[in-house]
Amino acid sequence: MTTIPPATELTNLYINGSYVAPKSGQTYTLYNPSDASIVSEQIPIAGQEDVDAAVAAAEEAFHGEWSKFSSAQRSACLRKLAQLLDEEDRLIKILTLDSLSTGNPVSIIPTREKTYIMGQLLYYAGWTDKLRGDYFPDDDGFVKLVRHEPLGVCAGINPFNAPVATLIMKAAPCLATGNTLILKPSEQSPLGSLAIAPLFEAAGFPKGVFQVLTGAGDTGALLASHMRIRKISFTGSVATGKKIQIAAAQSNLKRVTLELGGKSPAVVFEDANIENALTWTINGILARSGQVCVAASRVYVQRSIADKFIEEYKTRMKAAVEKIGDPLDTATALGPLVNKAAFERVTKMIERGKNEAELVVGGVRHTEQGYFIEPTVFLNPKKDAEIYKNEIFGPVAIVKTFETEEEVLKLANDTEFGLMSGVFTKDINRALRISSRLESGVALRAFTEPKTVLIK
């Protein structure tokens, strides 16, 4: 099946190569955050029997036909999947389905999401035959050969903000290394994940290698505690990540990879290219309306350029209001928050923030229809201000000035959410020096603690 169905037809789970009704018999309603209209009233909820069926199919595939695939065959499947997604605008149609329920503007699909997804698939297609082992000499009379083997049945639990991109980010390395994957998308964004599932078989992956189960936290808990799942990867909140870690430990000690919250600092030094710094710090907080874990929510500006930078930052954040609108309109760059609960949480944090910092831009609802919040800027927060210390997950930035490198390092590192950071300077030595001392890093699907340094 390579035709992308409409939202109203995605009413079943995807297990063992087929769309099947949930054995639980339960469904829920999905809403559009732009106007609170109904997107679908029949999104399936996977219960224990459904999870067990998916795990059984994944195990059968892992020990059966899939185990006989060579690295070249696995690579060919990933490349074929990329080809199918690229043909007939399938990927764009799939991503647009999720815009109906997340509020993500379709304007980002061709320029950002599609490029990222295709790059991930092709990158991991090139890794299938490069999983080298190791050799240790026979000092004790035995030659030791180390080889890397797949774990078996894996599960992925994804966030609402970039559902298909995160799906591919988990699926590509998982399948490239010979595992099978059961994917649970966020209950807020299940459509794209359900729509893409049949394309895996069309690309040559055997039935059961990739499956999709929808539902809320209860479904995720069933995966995290399942005794036959060997690895689980979760992207989402810290609170949920802790629950998954506990469930994994209390079940079969399955391996766990977590990508959780962020309160990412962007440090702008006096010698920085101001235009470049403004562009990326603003893009970094307005992308997906600030609903990304790597949002540039704390901006530190060296005092000597602070007045100039902050004034232009405020001007551009105010101007961004003109880009708010219907996410399905290609002229829109800023959509709503994902649902009523998110809107109310962010609104309340902004209200409390008015007593903790100086509100200089936004902080108000945009239109009475939908869950839109105008871009918001606070200055000079109190040391322990909630908006300064905690993840907001909305288009809200806090700007603070600093004098020295040592001062800004202490400020930037004073967080429990060290996911990503940025440094803006023309001095390459400073860029490398500061980035090495910032306590943040990108550690996705890895067993070490890598740090990614981007120089622009």
**pLDDT of 454 above 90:** no
Contacts of 77 (CB under 8 A, 6+ apart): 69, 175, 200, 203, 204, 205
Name the pLDDT band for 419 (thresholds 50, 70, 90).
Answer: confident
Q: What is the pLDDT of residue 453?
A: 53
pLDDT at 1 over 90: no
Residue 145 phi, psi dihedral angles, 5° rounding:
-110, 130
Residue pair 189/98 in contact by the 8 Å Cβ criterion: yes
Query: If we measure between CA atoms, which residue out of 263, 269, 264 comes closest to residue 434?
Result: 269
424-432: long-range contacts, CB 8 A cutoff, minimum separation 24: 424/266, 424/267, 424/268, 424/269, 424/272, 424/273, 424/276, 424/277, 424/280, 424/281, 425/269, 425/271, 425/272, 426/271, 426/272, 426/273, 427/269, 427/271, 428/455, 430/269, 430/405, 431/455
Q: Which residues contact 414 (CB under 8 A, 6 or more apart)?
A: none
Beta-strand ranges (E) seen in 52-138 are 134-136
Looking at this protein, which amino acid is placed at residue 359?
L
Domains and CATH numbers, the chain: 7-259 (3.40.605.10), 264-455 (3.40.309.10)
Confidence of residue 448 (pLDDT cuts 50, 70, 90): very low
Annotate 229-296 with DSSP letters as a single string.
--EEEEES-HHHHHHHHHHHHHTT--EEEEE-----EEEE-TTS-HHHHHHHHHHHHHGGGG-STT--
Which of 103, 97, 101, 95 has the alpha carbon at shortest distance from 38?
101
Convert the pLDDT of each residue in 103-141 to its tens digit: 999 999 988 899 999 999 999 999 999 988 899 999 999
Using the CB atoms, write b or e for 360-398: b if 16+ within 10 Å: bbbbeebeeebbbbbbbbbbebeeebbbbbebbbbbbbb
What is the layout of strands, in order, in the sheet containing 255-259?
18-20, 13-15, 210-212, 180-184, 153-157, 231-235, 255-259
Instruction: Say which residue, 419 or 306, is predicted with more confidence.
Output: 306
3-class DSSP state of 334: strand
Cα–Cα distance for residue pair 90/80, rounded to 1 Å:
13
pLDDT at 441: 65
| 3-state secondary structure (DSSP) of residue 418 | coil
Q: What does the pLDDT look like over 10-19, one tens digit per residue? A: 999 999 999 9
The closest alpha carbon to 162, from 36, 291, 274, belongs to 291
Average pLDDT over residues 23-47: 97
Q: What is the pLDDT of residues 61-95, one digit of tens each?
A: 999 999 999 999 999 999 999 999 999 999 999 99
What pairing do the DSSP bridges indicate for beta strands 265-268 and 396-402?
unpaired
Q: Which of 194, 190, 189, 191 is nearest to 210 (CA)?
A: 194
Q: Which two tokens stand for residue 377?
A: 């800027």
Mean pLDDT of all residues in 339-358: 97
Reference 393, options 241, 167, 236, 239; nearest CA is 236
Sign of torsion, CA 397 428 452 74?
A: positive
182 phi and psi, to 5 degrees?
Answer: -110, 120
Q: Which of 349, 369, 365 is nearest to 357 (CA)?
A: 349
Q: What are phi and psi of 86, to 5 degrees?
A: -80, -25
pLDDT value of position 183? 98
- Cite the active site residues: 259
Phi, psi (degrees; rounded to nearest 5) at 411: -65, -50
Distance between alpha carbon 124 and the CA centroid of its chain, in Å?
18
pLDDT tens sequence across 142-197: 999 999 999 999 999 999 999 999 999 999 999 999 999 999 999 999 999 999 99
